[in-house]
Amino acid sequence: MTKRTLVLLYPGAISYEVMYAIECLGAYGKVDITTPENHNHTDSSGLRICPTVNFEDVCITDYQALLIPGGNPDSIMGSDQIASFIQKAHESSLVIGGICAGVLVLARSGILKGVKITHDYTEKYAPESSVQLTRPYWEGAIYEESLVQVDKRIVTAMPNGYVDFGLAVAEALELLDRKQKQFILSYHKQGAH
Provide the pLDDT confidence category of residue 61 given band limits of 50, 70 and 90: very high
When pLDDT is averaged across residues 81-98 and rounded to a whole number, the result is 98
pLDDT digits (tens, 9 = 90+) for 107-137: 999 999 999 999 999 999 999 999 999 999 9
Please report the pLDDT score of residue 192 as a whole number: 58
- The whole-angstrom separation of Cα 89 and Cα 34 is 14
Provide the pLDDT confidence category of residue 185 given band limits of 50, 70 and 90: confident
Q: What is the pTM of this model?
A: 0.95
pLDDT at 87 over 70: yes
Burial class (CB in 10 A: 0-12, 13-18, 19+), 123: exposed
Q: Which domains does the chain have, with CATH numbers?
A: 3-190 (3.40.50.880)
When pLDDT is averaged across residues 155-182 and rounded to a whole number, the result is 94
What does the DSSP assignment read for 67-136? EE--B-THHHHT-HHHHHHHHHHHHTT-EEEEETHHHHHHHHHTTTTT-EE--S-STTTS-HHHHHHHGG
pLDDT digits (tens, 9 = 90+) for 169-181: 999 999 988 898 8
Q: What percent of the chain has pLDDT over 90?
A: 86
- Terminal alpha carbon distance of the chain: 32
Burial class (CB in 10 A: 0-12, 13-18, 19+), 33: buried
When pLDDT is averaged across residues 144-162 and rounded to a whole number, the result is 98
**Mean pLDDT score of the chain:** 95
- The whole-angstrom separation of Cα 180 and Cα 185 is 9
